[in-house]
Structure 1
Amino acid sequence: MALTFEVDPAFDRTLRDGITALWADVTNAGGAVGFVAPVTADDVRPELVRHLAAMAEGRTHLVVGRDEDGEVAATAFLTHNTHRLMRHWIGVYTVMVHPRHQGKGFGRELMEAVAGAARGLDGIGAVRLTCRGGTGADRFYASCGYKEVGRVPDAIRVAEDDYRDDVIMLLPLPAR
């Protein structure tokens, strides 16, 4: 079984609710996607609305993976860099695979879909992401071809006495 990926799908209530539930489930399973567990759908919904506003303005693209039942199983958001000297790379944020689907290779499929979506955009030569240190995410992204290009020590505070590095990674895209 594989996921079916789509870039910039038509957005409706079902997709909205699927992403909201995915985000809460990933966070509550320990995922490093902008929140610290425990969260509810009501906690993550305002952040999703910010992503949706950026999508409506054309600044952000959604990559969504659905399982064989058509349920949202994976997502990533690609956001154009607005700085005029850095428009040649795109950022990827909120990379998520539902916990029930982890360990099946779907994360790697999602990252391949992200790279494919970025290659389809004019003038994009690289994909940049950041991840929370201490989670193993940097090793996963490295296995997908990303290279660590920077690290900000203790930049992320997940608890009063728990600080994590912000790891910056880059995937150069071959010229088309």
Structure 2
Amino acid sequence: MKQRVTPALTQITGIHEISSNLRRQLVDCWIAVTNTGGAAGFPFPPVRDDDVEPAADELLSHLDPSRSRLLVARFGEDLAGWVVLRRDPFRLVAHWGSVHHLQTHPDFRGRGVGSALMREVRTVARDELGLEQLRLAARAKEGLEDFYGHLGWREAGRWPNALRFAPDDTRDEVLMLLAPL
């Protein structure tokens, strides 16, 4: 059985806070998650550095204290997982945020990393960004609705048959909401 120890959580608000070592760990995590079947933004594994590095660099380039934050979970020096929290800059919808790319490295699954990151996202969204609700989209048939449901999220709708992985594998995209924070 895997040890249940709370990971150390760190919030990153700008690309200047990303060391080359952390960038490498983020890319490696994204590759490992995707290549083990995780719903992490690359639907057709296998992926390699040249697939993931541009996406990671794009994501990191948009970090901003008022609009986009990266939360990372570590055990010692090892990156165990990460997630992105974004706020829309438009005043009409500036009261809600969106959650993207929740990932737990396969070597650290079953230790509460994803749950710890999602609890921290909620706290940061509410206490630091003043948000009132969070949204995310999840791939159906992965058990993600149950995972998020246990953390207080509820299904707000679906885009039926939105994702086609193969001719015989079409899935809904599940829209989830956490409100109030």
- TM-score over 0.5 for the alignment? yes
SS in 1 for 2:101: strand
Identity %, equivalent residues: 36
2:153 partner amino acid: Y
1:169–1:19 distance in 2 versus 1, CA, 3 Å: same
Which of 28, 40, 45 aligns to 1:33? It is 40
Deviates more, 1:144-153 or 1:54-63: 54-63
Deviates more, 1:139-148 or 1:82-91: 82-91
List per-residue Cα deviations over 1:124-149 (Å, max 9, x = no partner). 10111110001011110011110110
Q: CA deviation at 1:83?
A: 3.4
Given candidates 67, 89, 99, the residue that maps to 2:75 is: 67
Q: How far apart, CA to CA, are the structure 2 residues paired with 1:164 and 1:99?
A: 23
Structure 1: how far apart are the matches of 2:75 and 2:141?
A: 29
**Counterpart code for 1:90:** G
Any idea what SS the aligned residue of 1:55 has?
Answer: coil
Count of aligned pairs between the two proteins: 173
CA distance in 2, matches of 1:26, 1:112: 20
Decide which of 151, 159, 162 is 1:152's aligned counterpart.
159
- Structure 2, unpaired ranges of 5+: none
| Number of the residue aligned with 1:2 | 6
The CA deviation at 1:81 is 1.5
Coordinate RMSD, CA, aligned: 1.6
Q: Runs (4+) of structure 1 moved beyond 4 Å?
A: none
TM-score (norm 1): 0.91
| Alignment partners' CA distance in 2, 1:82 and 1:151 | 25
**In 1, Cα distance between the equivalents of 2:93 and 2:166?**
33
The letter of the residue matching 1:148 is: E
**Structure 1: 5+ residue runs without aligned partners?**
none
Cα deviation per residue 1:78-129 (whole Å; 9 max; x = unaligned)?
1112333111010000000111111122221111111111123333101111
